[in-house]
Amino acid sequence: MIIGAGPAGLVLSHLLHLQGVESVVLEARDRTYVESRVRAGVLEHGTMELLRETGVGARMDAEGLAHGGTELRVDGRSHHVDFAELTGKSIVVYGQQEVVKDLIGRRLADSGDLRFEVGDVQIHDEDTDHPRVTYTHEGTAQSLAADWVVGADGFHGSSRAHVPGQVFDRQYPFAWLGILAHAAPSSAELIYAKHDRGFALHSMRSPVVTRNYLQVHPDADLADWSDERIWDELSTRLAGEDGFTLTRGAIFDKGITGMRSFVHEPMRHGRLLLAGDAAHIVPPTGAKGMNLAIADVRVLSHALGQWAATGSTEGLDAYSDTALARVWRTTHFSWWMTSMLHRFDGYDATSTPFDERVQLSQLRYTVSSRAAMTTLAENYVGLPFTTGWSYR
């Protein structure tokens, strides 16, 4: 039983199917909502390879925007971080909702059991060999027995409450105001800008749609941010000595998202296993959330496949520790990017001029040192998977 039809739940269901393991996926929302909710948009090298290897990467390759690097703007100057030259790898910009569409289409084509608009999902007997999940679907109360239950129901889901453990949580003193606009990208690659007025990010979703972000206070009111004010502020923070001009267009979506780092340990209790946002959250600065969720279920699918084929729980017993090693490495990278690029003065009462000088020194070192740029590039394109496994 997999609770949640986001990237984690859908990828896991697909990978299990390729190994001959049956699963049922329960999702609270309807299919249209799931396929249209806008989330992350950057896929790591390993995520791309996994989607290709398992037969769900064709549309990504046809429509995704391949990027061989990114731009960091410091003191108004642009510095190119060349992923391809530093690591031999790249990333692709391809929206999470597009990944979800591809996976849902493939699971349904493979006669996968996806159940949308379920309610009152409850997990029972997870600390026994016979866990159950009860829920309502199409007005009828139902109960299903399973060998294992996977909670991939996101940060606000109910699965995590069934896993005793320790929580590590950090709230950042700022938020992101994000927009989607009908405007051609103003740059061939993402631009991360450190500015005296706060952080800004120029990204894209397609050749005609851009995704832009501004650092704002967590209690900022969208009503105070007219479209014109947003474009003016983005233009100011993204400006540089290269004469950069931001292409404007009609904004069709905007919202404010809080920033936090969150990890729950362990990621397993009995026959219940957590994956993705149900177990951990990272700030979006490093573009890691969806990639980390998919890395979780790659490990988990191997462990469940091993159990189904041999009865061995060796992989399942190691799952939490294996996944958490990557989770903490990614948590550090996302914290590092966030701490290095955002303004803390005026947002965090404990921030001092000393902190500001140290932050700026770190950023200037990063853009001037090949070793530091390589560290950034290696983490951004995604660290290698530790297990030698193929679905071919």
Residue-wise pLDDT for 369-389, tens only, equals: 999 999 999 999 999 886 555
Cα–Cα distance, 44 to 42 (Å, whole number): 7
Q: Is residue 248 domain-resident? A: no
Per-residue pLDDT, 386: 66
pTM more than 0.75: yes
Per-residue pLDDT, 392: 47
Q: Is residue 147 domain-resident? A: yes
Question: How do residues 43-79 score in pLDDT, each as one tens digit?
Answer: 999 999 999 999 999 999 999 999 999 999 988 899 9
124: domain CATH number? 3.50.50.60
Return the HEC string of 77-118. EEEEEEHHHHHCCCEEECCHHHHHHHHHHHHHHCCCEEECCE
Cα–Cα distance, 385 to 392 (Å, whole number): 16
Q: Is residue 188 domain-resident? A: no
| Paired tokens of 253 | 């979506």
Q: What domain range is 161 assigned to?
A: 2-67+90-169+260-343
Q: Is residue 207 domain-resident? A: no
- DSSP assignment letter at 9: H
Q: Is residue 380 domain-resident? A: no
Question: How do residues 1-17 score in pLDDT, each as one tens digit?
Answer: 999 999 999 999 999 99
3-class secondary-structure state, position 289: helix
Q: Is residue 213 domain-resident? A: no
DSSP E strand boundaries for 146-249: 149-151, 166-182, 191-194, 200-206, 209-216
Q: Is residue 389 domain-resident? A: no
Catalytic residues: 67, 192, 284, 288, 380
Q: What is the chain's pLDDT, residue by residue, as a tens digit (392 residues)?
A: 999 999 999 999 999 999 999 999 999 999 999 998 877 789 999 999 999 999 999 999 999 999 999 999 988 899 999 999 999 999 999 999 999 999 999 999 999 999 999 999 999 999 999 999 999 999 999 999 999 999 999 999 999 999 999 999 999 999 999 999 999 999 999 999 999 999 999 999 989 999 999 999 999 999 999 999 999 999 999 998 778 899 999 999 999 999 999 999 999 999 999 999 999 999 999 999 999 999 999 999 999 999 999 999 999 999 999 999 999 999 999 999 999 999 999 999 999 999 999 999 999 999 999 999 999 999 999 998 865 555 54
Q: How far is CA 164 from CA 52, 127, 159, 184, 225, in A?
A: 36, 11, 11, 47, 42
How many domains is the chain built from? 1
Residue with tokens 């037969």: 55
Q: Is residue 370 domain-resident? A: no
CB-based contact 202:246 (threshold 8 Å): yes
